[in-house]
Structure formats: C-alpha cells, structure tokens
A and B are shown apart, each in its own frame.
Chain A
Amino acid sequence: MKKTKWSLLALLFSVLLVLTACNGGDDKPAEDTKGTEDTGTEKDAKNPDELFTLAVENEEEAIEGGTLRVAMVKDEPFQGIFNWELYEDAYDADLMNWASNVIFETDENFMITDTGLATLDVDQDNNKVTVKIREGVKWSDGEPFTIDDVILPYHIIGHPDYTGVRYDTQFQNIVGAEEYNAGKADTISGLKKIDDHTLEISFKQLSPAIYYSGDGLWSYAAPSHQIKDIPVAELVESDAVRKNPVTLGAFKIDKIVPGESVQYSKNEHYWKGVPKLDGVVVEVVPSSSISVAIGSGKYDVIQHFNATKMPEIENYDNVTVLGRQELYYSYLGFKVGKYDFENNTVVTDLEGSKMGDVKLRQAMGYALDIEQVSEVFYNNLRERANSLIPPVFKAFYDDSLEGYTYDPEKAKALLDEAGYKDVDGDGIREDKNGKKLEIKLAAIAGDATQDEIIAFYLQNWKDVGLNVTLTTGRLIELNSFYDKVEADDPEIDIFMGAWGTGTNPSPAGLYGKVDQFNFSRYTSEELETAVKNIDSPKSFDTKYRAGEFKKFQQHIEEMATTIPMQFRYEIFPVNKRVKNFSVDYANEYTSYLHEIELTAEEPVASN
C-alpha cells in the first residue's frame, strides 16, 4: 500500500516536471505578466504621445525581393468579400488594402489630396465635383484603367438589388441616385462622363465632408472590364469578388484559402512603380497564440493586435512596436429625453429627467477614476479623454478642454451644491426631495476585465455617495445593449458606449436633433447650430469649421450630457527585418506598399 502511494506521488511529480518544463522551455509564456508593474511606472513618466513610434527605423541593407509575412489576429475565419462596395468588416478591408483600389490619397487631416490616382476638383457654387484620373494606369491584369471603372461603383451601390449599408442618405445626395435605385432610370443622371479620364458628379448640396469622401462621393474604383456584366445581385458570390479580383494596388491577389489566408504577389503594372517585395502572405492567427508567434519570429507585421496583450510581448527584442491613436472614443451618456420615432426628432426634457441636473452629471464624471483604470487594466494604452473629438484630428480637437479629471472632492461639492444630500445617514445620497436615489447604468458585457472595471466604477460612485446599479442586474450583451439604449428603455438612466469616428469627425448623425443615434437625447439651439454649421457650406473654410467644432466640444463639455471617457491606442508589432513601414495616418504604409523592404531572409526571432 505504502509503495503504491509513493508511485502515485512519483507519477504526479513527473507530470508536474513536464508542466514546469514547458513553462521553462517557453521563452515567454502567454501568462507571463512579470515586469508589467515597473514598465507601467516607466510609462507614466512619458508623454503618452511619445508612447510609440509611428514608423520603423531600419537602416540596414535590404535584400532583393522577399515575402512579407503578415498576421491578422482574429479568432474566426475572415468573411472574404473582396470588393469595396460590398465588404462589411474591417478585416476584409485590411486584406484588400494590400491590393487596394482606392483612388484618392489623404493628408494628415484625412482630407483628399492631389497625389493619388485621381484628383478632386470641387465647384462649390454649382454643387459639382470633377474627378480626374491619371492616364496610362493599368489594372493588375494589364487592362487600362478608365473613368468607367470609377463610375461603375456608383451603379453598384445605387442598384435596387444592392443589399449593403452604403446606399444611404449621403449617397442619395447624388443627383439621380434615388431615381436609379427606384428603377426609374437606367443610370444615375448626376454622373457625367466628360472623357475617358474625367467624371463630373452633380450633388444636391455640398458640404466640407466632400473632402473626406463624404456627401456621397465614392473613393474606390471597380474593375468594370471584369465585373460589369455580372448582375449586382450575384456579384457578392461571384469569383470576381471571392477568388480572383483584379486590382490597382501594389500587390495582386494570387490565391485565397477561404477564411484563413491570402497570398499576394507584386503587381508589375502598379502605377507608382514595381514594388520591391516579391509578395505578401496574410494569415489569420488566433489571439491565444499570437504573442508566442511574434516571439518565435513567424511574422513581420501584426494587424489587429489586442493592446491588452502588450505586456506579453514587451520583452521581445525582435520587434518594434508601432502605435497610433485610434479614431475612437468611449463615453458615459446620460438620458435626458426621448426620441420621438414618429416625428423623427429628439425630445429633450431636462426638467423631467432623473439625470436632468447638470451638476449631478458633472459630479458623476469627476467621480470616475478613469486614470487608474487606464493604467492598471490597459497599461496606459488607453487614456482619459477630454473631448468627443480624438486629438489626431489636430485641426478640430480642442486641447484646452479640461475634461472630467478624477476629483472626488469636487464631485461631492457639486452634489452638495445641487441638493443631493444624505438625509437618512446611510452613506448614500438621496435626491433633491429627500427620496432614495438609484441610478441605473447600462454597460456592455465583455471579458472578465470588463466586469472588474465596471465594478470599480460603481465603487467610485459609491465613494461620493451615489447609488448606481446595473440595468437588468448585470452587464448587457452588445446587441441587446444598443436595442435598449436606442429604445430609451426606462430602466436606463446612464450608459457606457463607444464610437469610432471615421475620418470625418463631424458630429452629424450622433448629436443632431434628428439623429436616432443621439442616444442621450440631448439637443439645444446652441448645439444644433454648431452641429449644422460644421457641415454647412461656410465650413469649406477650415478655420471657420474648426471654430464650430470647438463650440460643439465646449458646449457638450459644459452640459455634460455625454462625458468622454477614454481614447485608445492601436498597436502594430513589426519585426526588425522590415524596412520603410509607417502607421502614421499622414504617411501610412497603405500608400507606400511598394516601398516596403526586408533586411533579412527570414523574420528575426526573439532571444
């Protein structure tokens, strides 16, 4: 008996040994978070803007050709719709970028420049624009690029059989788009082909958005010689979209393993010159093993790397981590009204809303220790936001805004001032009339970290004497959350959401009087004027537009109906052998794919 016990123990011991061996053998196991703390403090000393570099600095001699290995972090197969008019998610867009059909290039303010395949000439008085494309450009199959390739996308998006989201009010701004969509016309009358390289487009009205490919302007070409005879309804399933799309970009698609990987080779006909690389391979890599894959030197460029995994790769010496601020902000919204779905208008009712007192809203903002959450949970890859316009929009961002920096004493003072006092002595404040005050928070369910963060915020509020509880008692699944928030569910007083701003940060659509997505249901004359002015013809003057943007930001900050919470960084680990790679919005690699080079035959592994 004694003997068997020992043998069992021995077996157990050997199993443990095996397990520790794999831990030891693994250079940087995924669970290793050692060193997070000290690097955290190190980062505090730095200005967040300098957290990451935007471009790799590699001065070594480049090799001839070579294949760039790209990992796209994703836990599901990609959808594989390789057509700019039809695709739906960001992953497909990233896959298409290597073979891009984009015709306009943009500057650091995301405005269209003259350096791309096409130029844009805006005739503001007549609501017309002229798109002129370069001559002598060829598609990846050698066919000439003509203006028909620019016209075709409009007839795809506007087609009655088109089932994407891009046929919207913006698109209907093109003269004749609605008639074409209703089947009353064979073409869109607002599109006028001047010659083989020139297109004139008539709009119902123009706004500054036109310089950001808004107002209905489309910034991609489609290979009309390949797809013009395919009925729009069948396009999405066709081989021309799924298997062998013809493209204009630096690389062309050679082979696709559905949902898993795409192989590209250099496009000999590329208009900026033949790319220096021989090709690119993009693979979907599961998030669970990406950190180890980076360390082992399997990939050169990593896209969609989750910033929370940063500590796992921090010690690798084979990668440069590039980073940039995302066009994103998260926010805390307060319900101060309802949406009238019959008349399509926001009805603000500050008097009658639980969250109607501006001081209460401001106090709730000051009470949140978002700084600590950013540091502890996000390693400072998120930071306290002070505005509804991310700072990357240099021309429009108001850096003078104070924001609601953590200040619990100020929060308490504001609440006292507004008359929210603890009458019955239980440590929780009652409302102005001395009745119990319970504020219902709706928040989106996520991983375990999300649970902890929300619990932390609830505690923050409790610390200043506010009783905040969760709508439905728990965090809410994403779809359900937006359903409830949009329907003005009476169980929701405040809610935490996030928006990606796109490249045109105009508040239209989110803060206007008619906008369903104006979830806090706040509107005022001042706000509505600013929102309208931002997209008015007067705003073709960028200075004027910037002024209106400031008014908008300041008004929202003052009213605190939406309190910005965090800005976010996206990071791109890049292997040391990659040369000429940048994620700077002003100078992004997607415009310079042909310049990318490699300085070693294989990606470098970490020591």
Chain B
Amino acid sequence: MWKTIVRRFLIMIPQLFVLSVIIFILAKFMPGDPFTGLITPETDPARIAELQEKAGLNDPWHIQYVRWVGNAIQGDLGLSYTYKRDVAALIGERALNTFWLSLLSVILLYLIAIPLGILAGRYQNSFLDKSIVFYSFVTYAIPTFVLSLVFLFIFGYQLHWFPTNGSVNIEHEAGSLSYYWDKFYHIILPSITYAILGTTGIIQYLRSEIIDAKSMDFVRTARSKGIPMRKVYSKHIFRNSLLPIAAFLGFTITGLLGGSIFIETIFGYPGMGQLFVSSISSRDYSVITALVMLFGFLALLGSLLSDIIMSIVDPRIRIE
C-alpha cells in the first residue's frame, strides 16, 4: 500500500503542473489587471503603466510563469496585489478561520445527518421517515443565503443568542481563554446553518443504503439464525451502510479549507471563500494562482485519503 501512496503522490506532480499552467494562462486572459482598479481621475496613466512594467505584467506569459514557478518552488508565493501582504501569510490567516468553521460544521453535519438517515432507513414509510425526508428536501431547497439571513435575524438580532458578525470580538485580549471562547462562540451560528443545509446528501444516501441492506442475504441469514432485529441493525446493517459515507470522508477532510462565500459574506467572517472570489474580481493574480493550486492539491489529496480510508474500513477493497 505504501508503494501505491508514494506513486499517487508522484502522479500529483504532473497533474499540478498542468493545473498551474492552465490557471496561469486563464488568469492572464481576464481583462484588466491588479492596477486597473486603482484608477481615479487623479491617477496618472503613466504611473499605472510604470507599475505594470515594474510588476513584470508586460512580459510574455511563459516568462512570467517561469518566474512564478521559480519563486513558488522556493516557497515564495509573492505579494498580494490587493492586501500588499505575503500570500502565504494571508492565506494562512484565512485558512485557519475557515478550518475551524468548517470543522465544527462537519461535526454538526454528521451529528445531525447520520442519526436522521439511520432512523429514516430503519423506520421506512413511517411518519418519522416521512418527516425526515420532508425535512431533508426542505433544507435542500432553501438557498444558503436565505437560511443564513433568517438565522442571523432570529438568533443574532432578535434573541441575541449569538454574535452577528466577525470572527472575534475586539475587546478580548488575543491569546486569553475568553478570546478562544469568543472565537468559538462566533462560529456556532454559521456552523449550524451550514450543517443544516448540508445534511440532505448523507441522509438520503444512508437511508437508501439501509433500505437496500434490509433485503440483503446476510440480513436474512442473520434473522433466520434468530438474532434479534436490534442486533441485526447495529452489527450488520449499519456497518455496511456507512461505507459510502466513509468513502466521502477524504474529500470532506480536505474540503474543510474550501470555505463558503455565502456564509462568510453574510456572517462577515473572513475566510477562504471570500478571499478567492474577491481576489478574482480584483485580479490579484498571486492570490488566485496560490489558491487554485492549493484547492487542486487538496482535491487530489482528498481522493487519495478516501481510497486509503476505504481500504481500512472495507477489507474487500485493496489498493494496488
């Protein structure tokens, strides 16, 4: 298995290389550049031209590309044109925010979805099942921004249970216990929103897996041996039904850094989703390329992780 993992990592190199070339060319195809947004009547066009020249934006793309790769390999991703900060530091700050938010979201997501999916599958066609299915369709149909706003208005502004914007209240001293509690406090409401909206897939998957498994031979065998239904569910059906969920786990883990533009914007939470979108609209090339490369790498890593997890939980699968 180790051999396979090493091989998979080696394959990633050409994959990422192709990705980097594509994103580099596409980024340059976008009209305008990082300096276009700075133009006011007082701006001197000659100065803009000079800045473009200084930043090397007038060179042919392959020269810019080689220069970028050369720096990137040495760990220098350049300076964000918009934020004037080291790209790695900027992304690091946002990634950390997004990571905690996504982690709590995913935990809540599984806490809600798995029991509901199991219950719906086990008590198929009951009132409970129908309610759960109904719930999952409703949450599937509600657009993210609508639920976010409704929650924000009710729990934030009406009931004052949760903070309404930002990642931390400025009054707390950085590093103190109250500071970390406040950071946690700020991610609760967005995480709940995110979790509620994301449950549909898992509930439906789990439910149908369980319903399928109920009519499988091994279940009938178990029942004919006289094993009580409760035990059949816990020992035989659930374990098998959870396999597809496990298959997604790898992507879920690496997806933690993706972020959600809607949730971040509505809750005023500085994260990766916003950074990505705003870097595109401001033509912040260095941030765009760094983020796409990061997301690309995470996607590849996610699929590898999923394969590894599968081979662990399902002995029938072997990575060769």
- Report which A residues bind B (CB closer than 8 A): 4, 7-8, 11-12, 15, 19, 22, 25-26, 29-30, 75-77, 79-81, 86, 88, 163, 165, 167-170, 236-237, 255, 257-263, 281, 283-286, 288-289, 292-293, 296, 298, 477-480, 482-484, 499-502, 509-510, 516-517
Shortest Cβ-Cβ A-B pairs, 6 listed: A479-B32, A168-B44, A480-B31, A77-B270, A516-B45, A168-B47
Total contacts A to B, CB within 8 angstroms?
152
Beyond A22-B153, A22-B154, whether A7 also contacts B170 by CB under 8 A is no
Q: Is the CB of A236 within 8 A of B84?
A: yes
What would 11 A/B residue contacts be, using CB atoms closer than 8 Å?
A: A26-B158, A75-B274, A168-B43, A237-B85, A260-B166, A281-B170, A286-B266, A289-B165, A298-B164, A479-B30, A502-B40
* Contact pattern, B 13-43, Cβ under 8 Å of A = 1, otherwise 0: 0000000000000000011110111111111
CB neighbours (8 Å) of A26 from chain B are: 153-154, 157-158
Which B residues have a C-beta under 8 Å from some C-beta of A? 30-33, 35-48, 51, 54, 82-86, 93, 127, 130-131, 134, 138, 145, 149-150, 152-154, 156-158, 164-168, 170-171, 265-268, 270, 274, 278, 283
- CA distance in complex: A47, B40 (Å): 31
Collect the chain A residues with CB atoms within 8 Å of residue B45's CB. Answer: 516-517
Contact A11 B134 (CB under 8 A): yes
- Inside 8 A of B158's CB, which chain A residues have their CB? 22, 25-26
B31, B37, B93, B149: the one contacting A258 at CB < 8 Å is B93
A483 to B42, CA, bound (A): 18
Whether B170 and A88, one on each chain, are in contact in the complex, defined by CB atoms closer than 8 angstroms, is no
Across the interface, do B168 and A257 meet the contact criterion of CB distance under 8 Å? Answer: yes
Q: Are B157 and A296 in contact (CB under 8 A)?
A: yes
Q: B255 to chain A: closest CB distance in Å?
A: 22
Q: A480–B32 contact, CB under 8 A?
A: yes
Q: Contacts A165-B38, A480-B32; is A8 near B164 (CB within 8 Å)?
A: no
> Across the two chains, which residue of chain B brings its CB closest to A257?
B170
CB distance from A9 to the nearest CB of B (A): 11
In the complex, what residues of B have CB within 8 A of residue A261's CB? 166, 170
Give B58 Cβ to nearest chain A Cβ, in Å.
Answer: 14
Determine how close the nearest CB of chain B comes to the CB of A343; give it in whole angstroms: 14
Measured between beta carbons, the chain B residues less than 8 angstroms from A8 are 130, 134
Is A237 a contact partner of B84 (Cβ separation < 8 A)? yes
- Chain A residues with Cβ under 8 A from B165's Cβ? 260, 283-286, 289
Task: Identify whether the interface residues of A are mostly helix, strand, loop, or mixed.
Answer: loop
Complex contact A79–B82 (CB within 8 A): yes
Q: How far is the CB of B266 from chain A (nearest CB, A)?
A: 5
CB-CB under 8 A from A86, the residues of chain B are 84
Bound Cα distance from A479 to B278, whole angstroms: 14
Of A77, A288, A480, most buried by chain B (CB within 10 Å of CB) is A77
Query: Roughly how many angstroms separate A26 CA and B42 CA in the complex, as a whole number?
Result: 45
B-chain residues with CB within 8 Å of residue A30 when the two chains form the complex: 149, 153
For residue B268, which residues in chain A have a CB less than 8 angstroms away from its CB? Answer: 260, 284-286
**Which of chain A's residues have a CB closer than 8 A to the CB of B93?**
258
**B265 in contact with A286 (CB, 8 Å):** yes
- Whether the pair B48, A76 counts as a contact (CB closer than 8 A) is no
Q: Is the CB of A479 within 8 A of B31?
A: yes
A7 touching B130 by the CB < 8 A rule? yes
Q: Shortest Cβ distance from B68 into chain A, in angstroms?
A: 18
Report B192 CB to chain A, min CB distance, Å: 15
Q: Is the CB of A257 within 8 A of B166?
A: yes
Give the Cβ gap from B306 to chain A, nearest Cβ, in Å: 33
Given contacts A25-B154, A260-B170, A500-B41, 12 further A-B contacts (CB under 8 A): A26-B158, A255-B170, A257-B170, A284-B166, A286-B265, A477-B31, A478-B32, A482-B36, A500-B40, A502-B41, A509-B42, A517-B45
- B30 closest partner in A (C-beta): A479
Rounded to whole Å, the gap between the CB of A547 and the closest CB of chain B is: 22
Least CB distance from B197 to A in Å reads 15
Residue of B nearest to A12 (CB): B134
CB distance from A17 to the nearest CB of B (A): 14
Q: Which residue of A is nearest B31, CB measured?
A: A480
Q: How far is the CA of A88 from the CA of B43 in the complex (A)?
A: 12
Closest partner residue, chain B, to A509 (CB atom) = B41
CB atoms of B38 and A88 under 8 A apart: yes
Docked complex Cα distance between A432 and B194 (Å): 62
Complex CA distance for A283 and B44, rounded to whole angstroms: 33
Measured between C-beta atoms, what is the minimum distance from A544 to chain B in Å? 23
Chain B residues within 8 Å of A499, by CB: 40-41
A30 to B44, CA, bound (A): 41
Bound-state CA distance A293–B165 (Å) is 10
Q: Are A483 and B32 in contact (CB under 8 A)?
A: yes
Residues B44 and A165 in contact, CB atoms below 8 Å apart: yes
Contact A163 to B51, CB < 8 A, known contacts A289-B164, A509-B41, A509-B42: yes
Residues of chain A with a CB closer than 8 A to B157's CB? 26, 289, 292-293, 296
Q: Return A163 CB to nearest CB of chain B, in Å.
A: 7
Instruction: Give Cα distance in the complex from A483 to B154, angstroms.
Output: 45
Shortest Cβ distance from B288 into chain A, in angstroms? Answer: 14
Q: Which residues of A contact B170 (CB under 8 A)?
A: 255, 257, 260-263, 281, 283
Q: Tell me, in angstroms, the Cα distance from A165 to B43 when the chains sit together.
A: 7
**Contact partners of A79 in chain B: CB under 8 A:** 82-84
Given A86-B84, A260-B166, A261-B166: A482 in contact with B41 (beta carbons within 8 A)? no
Is B166's CB under 8 angstroms from A15's CB? no
A-chain residues with CB within 8 Å of residue B166 when the two chains form the complex: 257, 260-261, 283-284
Q: Which residues of B contact A281 (CB under 8 A)?
A: 170
Collect the chain A residues with CB atoms within 8 Å of residue B83's CB: 79-80
Complex CA distance for A590 and B196, rounded to whole angstroms: 45
Q: Are B154 and A75 in contact (CB under 8 A)?
A: no
With a cutoff of 8 Å between Cβ atoms, the chain B residues found around residue A288 in the complex are 145, 149, 265-266
Residue of A19, A75, A477 with highest tally of chain B CB at under 10 A: A75
Given A7-B127, A482-B32, answer yes or no on A289-B274 (Cβ-Cβ < 8 Å): no
Chain B residues within 8 Å of A502, by CB: 40-42
| CB pair B46 A168 closer than 8 Å | yes
Q: Max chain B CB contacts within 10 Å: which of A12, A19, A262, A286? A: A286
Q: What distance in Å separates the Cβ of B247 from its nearest Cβ neighbour in chain A?
A: 32
Hey, which chain A residues are within 8 Å of B31, CB to CB? Answer: 477, 479-480, 483-484
In the complex, which residues of chain A have a beta carbon less than 8 angstroms from the beta carbon of B267? 286
A499 to B274 Cα, complex, angstroms: 27
Q: Which residues of A contact B138 (CB under 8 A)?
A: 15
Contacts of A25 in B (CB 8 A): 154, 158
A429 vs B283: C-alpha distance when bound (angstroms): 42
What is the bound-complex CA distance between A571 and B286, given in angstroms?
36
Q: Smallest distance from the beta carbon of B47 to chain A beta carbons, Å?
A: 4
A517–B36 CA distance with the chains assembled, in angstroms? 12
Chain B residue nearest to A25 (CB atoms) is B158
B153 contact set on A, CB distance < 8 A: 22, 26, 29-30, 289, 292
Contact residues in B for A479 (Cβ distance below 8 Å): 30-33, 36-37, 283
Chain A residues lying within 8 Å of B35, measured Cβ to Cβ, are: 165
Which B residues are CB-close (under 8 A) to A237? Answer: 84-86
From residue B33, how far is it (CB to closest CB) to chain A in Å?
8
Query: In the complex, what residues of A have CB within 8 A of residue B37's CB?
Result: 478-479
Report the minimal beta-carbon distance from B268 to chain A, rounded to whole angstroms.
5
Min CB–CB distance B60 → chain A (angstroms): 19
Query: A76-B274, A165-B44, A257-B167 are known contacts. Are A482 and B130 too (CB-CB below 8 A)?
Result: no
Complex Cα spacing A135 to B173, Å: 37
A293–B153 Cα distance when bound, in Å, is 9
Nearest-CB residue, chain B, relative to A262: B170
Give Cα A22 to B149, complex, Å: 11
A79 to B82, CA, bound (A): 7
Q: How far is the CB of A92 from chain B (nearest CB, A)?
A: 11
Highest count of chain B CB atoms <10 Å: which of A11, A170, A262, A510: A11
Report the nearest A residue to B47, measured CB to CB.
A168
User: How far is A142 from B157 in the complex, measured between Cα atoms in Å?
Assistant: 41
Give the CA-CA distance A284 to B165 in the complex, in Å: 8
The smallest C-beta distance from A498 to any residue of chain B, in angstroms, reads 11
Identify the interface centre among A168, A236, A284: most chain B CB within 10 Å of its CB: A168
A484 to B45, CA, bound (A): 15
